[in-house]
Chains A and B, each alone.
Chain A
Amino acid sequence: MKILKGLHIIFFLFLSALTLAQDVTITGKVTGESDGLPIPGVNILIQGTTKGTVTNFDGNYSIEAKKGQVLLFSYTGFKIQKVTVGDETEINVTLENDLEQLNEIVVIGYGTQKKKNLTGSVSKVKNENLDEIPVARADEALVGKVSGVNIQNTQGEAGTAPTIQIRGVGSISGDTGPAIVIDGQVVDSGFLTNLDMNEVESFEVLKDASSAAIYGSRGANGVILITTKTGESGRTRFSYDNFIGFKEGLQNDLLSVTVDEWARREMAATGMLSEKTQYKQLIGVDTPWQERVLNGGMIQSHSFSASGGNDDTKFRTSLNYLHDEGVLLTDDFKKYNFRVRFDTKLNRKFRIWADLAPSYSETRRFDGSTHDVLRQPAWLPLYHDENTIQFVDRNLYPDVQVGDYAVQRHFDNYDLFGDGSSLVDISTTNNTNPGAKILERDRNDYRFKIRGNVRAEYKFTRDFKFKARFAGDYQSRRQDRWTGVEASRLGTAGSSLEISNENRFHFQNDNVFTYDKRIGKHDINVVAGLSLETYSTKFESAQGTGYTSDVFQTLTAAPVIANAFSEAYESRIFSMFGRVNYNFDDKYLASVSFRRDGFSAFGVNNKFGTFPAASVGWVLSEEKFLNESKLVNFLKLRVSYGSTGNFSIVTTGSRNRQLESYPFLSLLGPTSAVFGDIVTPAFNPLNISDPNLQWEGSVEFNPAVDFGLLNDKISGSLDFYRRVSDQMILDLPVSSTTGFSSVITNRGEVKNQGFELELRTKNVNKPKIRWQTTFIASRNENELLDFGESNGQISNVDTKRPAEWINLEGNPIASFYGFVVDEDIPAEFINNPWERLGQTNREVIVKDLNGDGLIDDDDKTILGDPYPDLIWSITNDFKIYNFDVSFMFQGSHGAEVRNIGDQYVFRHFGGSSTVTNPLDLVDAGIIANDTFIKEKIFTNSIVQNASYVALRTVSLGYSIPDKVISDFFITKARVYLSGQNLMYLTADGYTGLNPEAIRRTSPTTFGYQRLGSPINQTLTLGVNIEF
């Protein structure tokens, strides 16, 4: 609390400092040299004071200053202009383009670099309008913004993390997501959930090995560097940003069939209506299950920030509240962010930064599955009403009342004709109502995260400095999961409460020396440092079962505590790193880096891994032969080669954190046995240790070209890359005779190669009208080169529906495997062909690939893989007078998905809609023998094209003219309308809800969906106000 009080005092000190001194009022207009256009947002500061202002939208400013004071005009991309105040009260300024600065500065690991001097592959995304994209998470806003980065909304529930892959999947059992670094602080990807987008200045994505190698063991899947906003010197500025809107889940008409539509199909096919259908019509219910479960919701965000300071001390503080109701029944995500940041120069040599960002979120989960709801027939209501209650079988269900959940079995044994001649059964499951399964559960995640960071920099000389960082992040995650008495057909037997708590502390200390010197035409930058990290986690959980009522949802009230669990584990990292960037005359560029990481989970002899990298670049446009070119204003060739690593150890199946933390040791864990009803403790060996366990390494080669044509009217870059990852950390299967099924060890090799294109054009660049287009495309091919003993491994994720994946050398990881459909089975050979929702049956006729007249394992083949071959986006930004319009189309092609949702929704199991007798087909000469008939789940029938083209975002903004707002002390005001996924096209033959949805399994069985969550369609209205 003391700290907060201190913050208050400092905050008010700044405010009061700004109200001092006033003399002459100076006004003027700032324009750009090249086009003569007014420049809004130019910083104007009185030298030696904290006083300053900014130009408004029309480039005008007004400031009070004394005669003789010096005004500094600064704006990114232009040279700083100094004007001494004389007697005049109007000072108009023309800013010269700064060719040095025209190239952006990009953040690279442990430093920054001019974009044009980069030799590695780094993409930068500035937060210009990202915070207006109505999504709950920062990473979702990056979809389509960076080439080579595939961000897929695999989960779709409010607040859940998308899957991020940079340049394909380079690891099999480890983590395949990039490392996340916020302001130099390494955090786990969970922090993206709690990041406030309004606080983000920019994202930098380190894609190739040479740029990521400075992060060594974390670099193999790329690195996303997030830079947050800092305070700016000058008048304290406040801003309020908000958006509010509605979301809907995109429905699929294939998945809803009304009772009447059903009847129509049956009539068309058979010329009559079965008793069951007549009965269903009689009930008179038509529940739109899709609408019930995809109930939509609101999304809103409110952000308030204040920032200011002087040359020596700057601050920024912000608050954010976001509430996403999600598009599914019950899902809900609320997030509260707070942040305060200070930078101060204590003297010419010593600077301190401090940053504290606590965040709290509450997530209510959708604790059910869409496939389970969407397979329900339309005749089933959610609750019984006066009408439906009369159909209940009173012999078996005497207690059912109006208002109770309706269960299919309630409707069985109905005397359709009132004379006992026909008792009709229409139920297909003994499950409870699908609505009950969701509404009677309550599953929540409560996350508190805090990130704190203190940096101190000491300049020994002008060129040589030392920076130390002490950073800590702490996460507390409490989960509870209540399964109510009515949530399942099991009643009390199925009711339970699970509560867990995880506390994770991560400490990081970096100590970095930087030497930066320009001698003549030689520009050299050297970075060297040491880093220490510890992760320490404590977890406990308990499960109570057998609740007889929903009144007390506590463990205290649990009749039985079935399970209690606790554990703790830690891991540590020690690193040394260094890098030299050199350029000669901005023409010849080179960079060499090195990192050596030690990680506690690796074997005694292999604790350390070394990750070197080198890259060179040649700026051809600086050479004489291109210097005068009208066509080419910038051209750079660069090539990089380097090595990165991955230390993430992930056990297959359920995570075993002990094995992941101490795999080099033979571990012994607690267990128990029962003797005469007495539970007796026992000791159980948990693993086979690998004392030689070591880093998973990647080597990447990346030649590329960056170009700017016609004075940057067309600019962009093209990268080729080839990355081979080997010594992958695998939970490698071993013979069961060892007593275990797998051992965590290094094995295997994967290759990813592809290209990335980024192209920007300035189509119109007139004073009042601008139009820019950005085109991004990337292509990746994944190939398993070596999989050791596991080559050809076939696995499934569900023993009841064991559709197969194969991991076979020469093919992509997690390729879908099975039979190829030849043709459908004609309806006359099928039981009850019209009974099923989508008129589909369980089996198909498959192809005899090897032509031996028999279908067996040899006729299985690879049916596709879950990785897109090509992802692209096109963004158009228009600025017309005070309006701005932007829209982005984004697409993905060539990925397949195993849509097991078909199995459920079209009921490809059980006894119905099966082949009446395979031999009839043989007799009819359609197939040679009965082996030709296979269930659809084993074929490419459910391996569907997951390509899509979406209008990802579209926004229309209006900046309210200065004249209107200046009376209200407002410096900037903008309103906008924004939409997400207003158009979303899926491929032919895709029958699910969301081609991006993928259930979490393992990297070797990736690409499995059970309908999943839908695409979110969002429409919001937003406001930005600065004052």
Chain B
Amino acid sequence: MKNFKYLILILSIITVFSCDDYLEPEPISTASTENFYRNDDEILGGIFNIYDGLQGVNDTRSSSNHSTQIEFYVTEMRSDNTRSKNNEGEAGQFDTFAVQSTNGLVADHYRSFYNVIFRANTVLENLENASDANRDKFEAEAKFLRAYVYFNLVRLYGDIPLLDRTITPDEVEISYTRVPTAEVYDLIVSDLTTAVEVLDNSNGRNRASKAAAQALLAKVYLTLEEYLPAQQLLEEVMQSGYSLAPNFNDVFYNESNPEVIFAIGYKEGILLDSQNFSAEFLNGVGRTVGVNYVTDNMLAFMNTNAGDRLETSLRADPAQPTETQVAKFFPNGDSGGADGRTFSFDARLAGNDWIVLRYADVLLMHVEAIMAGADETSNAEALNSFQLVRDRAGFTDPVSSVDKEDLLAERRAELAFENHRLYDLMRFGKANEILGDFAIDIGANFSSNDLLLPIPQLEISLSNGLMQQNPGY
């Protein structure tokens, strides 16, 4: 039967099609991670990816990493500095110390920051293919970034899962075991020590540097009340060529200022590399409206203590003059015209960097390190550092001694709205007292449990009893 010839032909075509490869098409627009990180370029691409993680994605997708772009919610808005305008939704919970364990912004923050740690660990696990010349630098850079993230996590959540490698979802033990803060700090100190030893200051303010590692490690030591090493590190930073920008406004609106030691870089106009917080701090400009508004308490404080810094720090909302806005991060430096919300470009794609460490912070930490837990100091070097910051603000009267309250106030005024306040209050041991009084003023309930965020409820639920919630949630 000649027909069977056709049949055989058809069947053989099918057989050709159905070989194993047919069901395993190669990805076209993505790559498989197998056989990746084989050389310096690819590993460097992995390191840049850690910065990308810290930068966060300028969108509202629930699965995206938003890390730095939403950090103000869990830090500044939980202090006496800022609040949401309408006390609405999940954002409103931070205003009144009424954070729920189901709060989506907390979950987002926790998830995003662990995603950055994952990115750092991915690099650290693939260093064997790096060239000998670069391997240590790569390691130091990844460790600096990992330490920065852990330092924020440990201060916000207390005991946390500690990972120095990538894990799979099956590794439930390590995923849900809350390691004591001391152990977390051990890794942070060790990572930063490596970074201090290896890094230099040649890569600009948007990448890890020796000075940044020193300043950050100093802050870690201050938190651990180890003042002497902190002082040494800070003094080394002070020898590294940084200085206060003569004009306070330049710190925020001139990215070539000499003051910023480490900042997370953003680029305006590009969805993937811009940020939205600049717009969100305004009235009806961002996707979320009216968050990180200045509290009455802060407004009164700044009116007295900000000096020349006042205008750069905050302003009355032009559209609602009874409300006060943060003024340090106007989108690309544009204040939004007469009504405070008219822009000639898409303000939701702002390019302002997020400043993590700057010289004024170093100077004030220097005072703190010398004070070494005492109530006050009149050490000349401490006074000198303190005076430098005060002078720029226009308070040129010489100071003869600094006490804890002065220092905390100076930090509050100088570093207002830069996500330092909550950490400062906790480090100075003043959080319960000051936030307690503040809560009474605004008619909210505060307890010392509110200093730590809840572990996201989703993690607790997924852990099947392995993970315990922070007290009070």
From B88, B110, B161, B462, residue with most partner A Cβ within 10 Å: B462
Once A796-B104, A800-B88 are accepted as A-B contacts, the answer to whether A674 and B267 lie under 8 Å apart by CB is yes
From A559, A789, A801, residue with most partner B Cβ within 10 Å: A789
Q: Which residues of B contact A911 (CB under 8 A)?
A: 86
Determine whether the beta carbon of B32 is less than 8 Å from that of A665. Answer: yes
Determine whether the beta carbon of A493 is less than 8 Å from that of B63. Answer: no
Interface residue A686 (Cβ < 8 Å from any Cβ of B) = yes
Determine whether the beta carbon of A545 is less than 8 Å from that of B32. Answer: no
* CB closest chain-A residue, reference B6: A458
The distance in angstroms between the C-alpha atoms of A570 and B342, with both chains bound, is: 44
A784 to chain B, nearest CB (A): 16
From B25, B104, B176, residue with most partner A Cβ within 10 Å: B25
Within 8 A of B (CB), among A523-552: 530, 532, 543, 545-546, 548
Once A545-B349, A688-B168 are accepted as A-B contacts, the answer to whether A666 and B34 lie under 8 Å apart by CB is yes
* CB closest chain-A residue, reference B265: A674
Interface residue A68 (Cβ < 8 Å from any Cβ of B) = no
Once A667-B31, A736-B111 are accepted as A-B contacts, the answer to whether A562 and B271 lie under 8 Å apart by CB is yes
Q: Which residues of A contact B63 (CB under 8 A)?
A: 651-654, 741-742
Determine whether the beta carbon of B348 is less than 8 Å from that of A735. Answer: no
Determine whether the beta carbon of B272 is less than 8 Å from that of A563. Answer: yes
From A562, A600, A658, B270 is in contact (CB under 8 Å) with A562
* CB closest chain-A residue, reference B279: A493
Determine whether the beta carbon of B61 is less than 8 Å from that of A679. Answer: no
Once A671-B52, A677-B265 are accepted as A-B contacts, the answer to whether A735 and B105 lie under 8 Å apart by CB is no
From B18, B161, B166, B342, A493 is in contact (CB under 8 Å) with B342
Q: Which residues of B contact A739 (CB under 8 A)?
A: 114-115, 117-119, 121-122, 166
From B32, B46, B285, A666 is in contact (CB under 8 Å) with B32
Determine whether the beta carbon of A737 is less than 8 Å from that of B344. Answer: no
0/1 per residue, B161-188, Cβ < 8 Å to A? 1010011110010111000000000000
Determine whether the beta carbon of B463 is less than 8 Å from that of A668. Answer: no
Interface residue B461 (Cβ < 8 Å from any Cβ of A) = yes
The distance in angstroms between the C-alpha atoms of A574 and B18, with both chains bound, is: 7
* CB closest chain-A residue, reference B348: A493
From B17, B121, B464, A574 is in contact (CB under 8 Å) with B17
Within 8 A of B (CB), among A266-320: none
Within 8 A of B (CB), among A548-603: 548, 559-560, 562-563, 566-572, 574, 598-600
The distance in angstroms between the C-alpha atoms of A683 and B53, with both chains bound, is: 11
Determine whether the beta carbon of B14 is less than 8 Å from that of A600. Answer: no
From A430, A567, A738, residue with most partner B Cβ within 10 Å: A738
The distance in angstroms between the C-alpha atoms of A738 and B62, with both chains bound, is: 17
B46 to chain A, nearest CB (A): 6
Interface residue B345 (Cβ < 8 Å from any Cβ of A) = yes
Q: Which residues of B contact A675 (CB under 8 A)?
A: 48, 51, 203-204, 206-207, 265
0/1 per residue, A739-754, Cβ < 8 Å to B? 1111100000000000
Determine whether the beta carbon of A688 is less than 8 Å from that of B169. Answer: yes
The distance in angstroms between the C-alpha atoms of A215 and B117, with both chains bound, is: 45
Within 8 A of A (CB), among B309-337: 319
Determine whether the beta carbon of B206 is less than 8 Å from that of A676. Answer: yes
Interface residue B241 (Cβ < 8 Å from any Cβ of A) = no
The distance in angstroms between the C-alpha atoms of A430 and B119, with both chains bound, is: 42
Q: Which residues of A contact B117 (CB under 8 A)?
A: 737, 739
The distance in angstroms between the C-alpha atoms of A977 and B298, with both chains bound, is: 71
0/1 per residue, B1-44, Cβ < 8 Å to A? 10100110011001001100011110111111110100000100
Q: Which residues of B contact A572 (CB under 8 A)?
A: 22-23, 25
The distance in angstroms between the C-alpha atoms of A736 and B460, with both chains bound, is: 11
* CB closest chain-A residue, reference B92: A800
Within 8 A of A (CB), among B369-411: none
From B3, B102, B343, A794 is in contact (CB under 8 Å) with B102
B124 to chain A, nearest CB (A): 13
From B48, B204, B348, A682 is in contact (CB under 8 Å) with B48
Q: Which residues of A contact B25 (CB under 8 A)?
A: 570-572, 600
Interface residue A964 (Cβ < 8 Å from any Cβ of B) = no
Q: Which residues of A contact B176 (CB under 8 A)?
A: 735, 737
Determine whether the beta carbon of A666 is less than 8 Å from that of B169. Answer: no
Interface residue B227 (Cβ < 8 Å from any Cβ of A) = no
The distance in angstroms between the C-alpha atoms of A674 and B55, with both chains bound, is: 9
* CB closest chain-B residue, reference A800: B89
Once A654-B63, A667-B31, A739-B114 are accepted as A-B contacts, the answer to whether A530 and B345 lie under 8 Å apart by CB is no
0/1 per residue, A416-439, Cβ < 8 Å to B? 000000000000001100000000
* CB closest chain-A residue, reference B104: A799
The distance in angstroms between the C-alpha atoms of A493 and B462, with both chains bound, is: 42
Determine whether the beta carbon of B48 is less than 8 Å from that of A598. Answer: no
* CB closest chain-A residue, reference B266: A674
From B28, B107, B205, B273, A679 is in contact (CB under 8 Å) with B273
The distance in angstroms between the C-alpha atoms of A733 and B3, with both chains bound, is: 55
Determine whether the beta carbon of A566 is less than 8 Å from that of B29. Answer: yes
B contact patch SS: loop
From B1, B105, B273, residue with most partner A Cβ within 10 Å: B273
Determine whether the beta carbon of A658 is less than 8 Å from that of B207. Answer: no
B101 to chain A, nearest CB (A): 9
Determine whether the beta carbon of B169 is less than 8 Å from that of A735. Answer: yes
Interface residue B456 (Cβ < 8 Å from any Cβ of A) = yes
Determine whether the beta carbon of A600 is less than 8 Å from that of B343. Answer: no
Within 8 A of B (CB), among A704-745: 733-743
Q: Which residues of A contact B48 (CB under 8 A)?
A: 672-673, 675, 680-683
Determine whether the beta carbon of B119 is less than 8 Å from that of A684. Answer: yes
Within 8 A of B (CB), among A489-521: 489-494, 496, 509, 511
B163 to chain A, nearest CB (A): 6
0/1 per residue, B191-212, Cβ < 8 Å to A? 0000000000001111100000
B36 to chain A, nearest CB (A): 6
Determine whether the beta carbon of B265 is less than 8 Å from that of A676. Answer: yes
Q: Which residues of A contact B269 (CB under 8 A)?
A: 545-546, 560, 562
B353 to chain A, nearest CB (A): 8
Determine whether the beta carbon of B49 is less than 8 Å from that of A738. Answer: no
Q: Which residues of B contact A958 (CB under 8 A)?
A: none
Interface residue A792 (Cβ < 8 Å from any Cβ of B) = yes
Once A572-B22, A600-B23, A739-B118 are accepted as A-B contacts, the answer to whether A494 and B30 lie under 8 Å apart by CB is no
Once A679-B273, A683-B45, A793-B461 are accepted as A-B contacts, the answer to whether A674 and B206 lie under 8 Å apart by CB is yes
From B7, B30, B115, residue with most partner A Cβ within 10 Å: B30
Q: Which residues of A contact B207 (CB under 8 A)?
A: 675
The distance in angstroms between the C-alpha atoms of A481 and B17, with both chains bound, is: 41
Determine whether the beta carbon of B90 is less than 8 Å from that of A679. Answer: no
* CB closest chain-B residue, reference A604: B24
* CB closest chain-A residue, reference B45: A683
Determine whether the beta carbon of A599 is less than 8 Å from that of B23. Answer: yes
Q: Which residues of A contact B228 (CB under 8 A)?
A: none
Determine whether the beta carbon of A737 is less than 8 Å from that of B161. Answer: yes
Determine whether the beta carbon of A684 is less than 8 Å from that of B52. Answer: yes
Determine whether the beta carbon of B270 is less than 8 Å from that of A563. Answer: yes
Binding site for A on B (CB under 8 A): 1, 3, 6-7, 10-11, 14, 17-18, 22-25, 27-34, 36, 42, 45-49, 51-53, 55, 61-63, 86, 88-91, 102, 104-105, 107, 110-111, 114-115, 117-119, 121-122, 161, 163, 166-169, 172, 174-176, 203-207, 255, 265-267, 269-274, 283-285, 319, 339, 341-349, 351, 456-459, 461-464
Besides A492-B343, A562-B274, A675-B51, 5 other A-B contacts (C-beta < 8 A): A511-B10, A562-B269, A652-B62, A667-B30, A735-B462
Q: List 20 A-B contacts (CB under 8 A).
A: A466-B10, A489-B284, A530-B14, A546-B346, A654-B63, A658-B30, A667-B31, A672-B48, A672-B273, A675-B265, A676-B206, A681-B45, A685-B49, A735-B169, A735-B176, A735-B459, A736-B111, A737-B175, A739-B118, A743-B169
Binding site for B on A (CB under 8 A): 396, 430-431, 458, 460, 466, 468, 489-494, 496, 509, 511, 530, 532, 543, 545-546, 548, 559-560, 562-563, 566-572, 574, 598-600, 604, 607, 651-654, 658, 661-662, 665-669, 671-677, 679-686, 688, 733-743, 789, 792-794, 796, 799-802, 909-911
